[in-house]
Amino acid sequence: MSTDPEQGAPHDAGEVGKYVKSQIKVGLTLMVFILVAVTAAFFPVGSPGGRMAAVCIAGLINVFLVTAVSMHLKTERKTITQFLVFTVIFVLVLFGLTMLAHFDSTAGRH
Interface positions with other proteins (CB under 8 A): 1, 3-10, 13, 16-17, 19-20, 23-24, 27, 30-31, 34-35, 37-38, 41-42, 44, 52, 55-56, 58-59, 62-63, 66-67, 70-71, 76-77, 79-80, 83-84, 86-88, 90-91, 94-95, 97-98, 101-102
Provide, rounded to whole angstroms, the least separation between the CB of residue 109 and other proteins.
15
Of 86 and 106, the one with the shorter C-beta distance to other proteins is 86
| Secondary structure, 3-state, 12-57 | CHHHHHHHHHHHHHHHHHHHHHHHHHHHHHHCCCCCHHHHHHHHHH
The C-alpha angle 48, 51, 54, rounded to 5 degrees, equals 155
Rg (CA), the chain: 21
Of 102 and 110, the one with the shorter C-beta distance to other proteins is 102
Provide, rounded to whole angstroms, the least separation between the CB of residue 48 and other proteins.
8
Assign residue 14 a region (left: φ > 0; alpha: ψ between -120 and 50; beta: otherwise): alpha
Of 13 and 105, the one with the shorter C-beta distance to other proteins is 13
